[in-house]
Amino acid sequence: MIALLVISALSAWPQEEVSLERKFKAGERLEYSVDCSLHMEYKGSGMQFYMPQEFDVSYRFTTQVQTLLHDGFAQVVYERPSMTFTDGENASSPPRTTVEKTAWKFQLDLSPINEITKAKDLNPQRPQGKGDDKSHWNHAGPGQEVTQEGTPDPLVPMIRELRGLALFLGNLDSSLDLNPKLPLDPVKVGSTWKKTVSFQPRKLADSDRQAMQRLDMTYRYDGLVQSDGKPVHRVTAMVDLDTDAAPWLNQIFGVKPDESDLAAVKLVLKTKIEFDLEPVTLTTLRAGAESNGEISITLAQNKDTPIYTEKLKGKSAMNLVKRS
């Protein structure tokens, strides 16, 4: 009842422009849990049925504000000690869980819109692990590379990137951990802004050629809502990718479409993430994410039947579990 009264009392405020700026508190330590799961179904040439495969990732991370800087910026220490990877049961092996010691520890300058403006690795001698690449999500996804043998080499990184996006895992700047990225300018309910999360081949305007172009996440401010009985600012983020990478691959190999055996390389991904932010400080309290994607490779000799198809369903959750 009290929460409803608070939302009602503030309901007129979000109709006007509001500045969504994070307010840091010196010394504050936040601990989060992140749980991600990816369900895959893949089928190669000659296969009658889709083969399922499950892949899960979980970890905890902390942020602690060391120093308040100018203009609302803060110096923060980010730590992620380990990550747990679970490959689900498949036809050839039982479930397998491994814990990787990542030992991430970075000193970050964070802006009031959750952008990293400076980063320093405080543990450069940490051991190599599956999640140990701060600039790019380096794990292929499920425990084995299941793409069709003979898949063009330039396509493999794009498939890995798509799986990483479906899992909502990436570098510190694009993963759930330090999200959402907030807008520079004041917004109203329904206002949108964008942030680049990846690069994928896409058709150039007014041209038959393709190039690697930015793939943006579109954020939308949904105003004050009730979540778990409390008022929160709700921000929704979406990615919508639907492209055919075959023309780009033909360009890479220097062949014309009628000379290439590649008919189509479809890359599709649709994601949605909901962020709940504390009304006053804009601290992220919770994030829930879902994604659906598909990868399909078709050759010119048989355009009716792809030689490889992969369907992806991702789900992730991030929750603030401790504050001190």
Question: Could you check whether the bond before residue 180 is cis, i.e. omega within 30 degrees of 0?
Answer: yes
* The pLDDT of residue 112: 97
Task: DSSP for 95-145, please give it.
Answer: -EEEEEEEEEEEEEEE-TTS-EEEEEES-TTPPP-TT--TTS----SSSS-
Mean pLDDT over 213-224 rounds to 86
Most confident of 2-16, 92-106, 207-221: 92-106
Name the pairing type of β-strands 74-87 and 51-68: antiparallel
* The pLDDT of residue 5: 45
- What is each CA distance from 227 to 16, 44, 70, 234, in whole angstroms? 22, 43, 32, 9
Q: Identify which has the larger pLDDT, 111 or 254.
A: 111
In a 13 Å sphere around the CA of 78, the CA atoms on its Cβ side amount to 20
* The pLDDT of residue 136: 31
Mean pLDDT over 297-310 rounds to 86
**Given a cut of 80, is residue 142 above it in pLDDT?**
no
CA 130 to mean position of chain CA atoms = 17
Contact 55, 142 (CB under 8 A): yes
* The pLDDT of residue 205: 57
Residue-wise pLDDT tens digits, 117-138: 999 999 877 555 544 443 233 3
Distance CA 105, CA 126 (A): 9
In a 13 Å sphere around the CA of 197, the CA atoms on its Cβ side amount to 26
* The pLDDT of residue 1: 45
Q: What is the dihedral of CA 61, 162, 54, 49, to 10 degrees?
A: 180
Mean pLDDT over 134-157 rounds to 45
* The pLDDT of residue 243: 83
Looking at the chain, the whole-number percentage of residues with pLDDT higher than 90 is: 50
List of E strands, the chain: 29-44, 51-68, 74-87, 96-110, 116-121, 192-203, 210-227, 230-244, 262-277, 284-299, 308-323
CB atoms within 10 A of CB 321: 11
**Given a cut of 70, is residue 143 above it in pLDDT?**
no
Contact 269, 312 (CB under 8 A): yes
**Given a cut of 80, is residue 297 above it in pLDDT?**
yes
CA 142 to mean position of chain CA atoms = 16
Residue 293 DSSP class:
E
Residue-wise pLDDT tens digits, 45-77: 888 888 888 999 999 999 999 999 999 999 999
Mean pLDDT over 29-57 rounds to 91
Which residues have C-beta within 8 Å of that of residue 286, sequence separation ≥ 6?
227, 228, 275, 276, 317, 318, 319, 320
* The pLDDT of residue 201: 53
Can you give the pTM of this predicted structure? Answer: 0.82
**Given a cut of 50, is residue 284 above it in pLDDT?**
yes
* The pLDDT of residue 257: 64
Two structure tokens written together for 247: 């023309």
Q: What pairs with residue 316 in β-bridges?
A: 36, 289
Which residues have C-beta within 8 Å of that of residue 1, sequence separation ≥ 6?
none
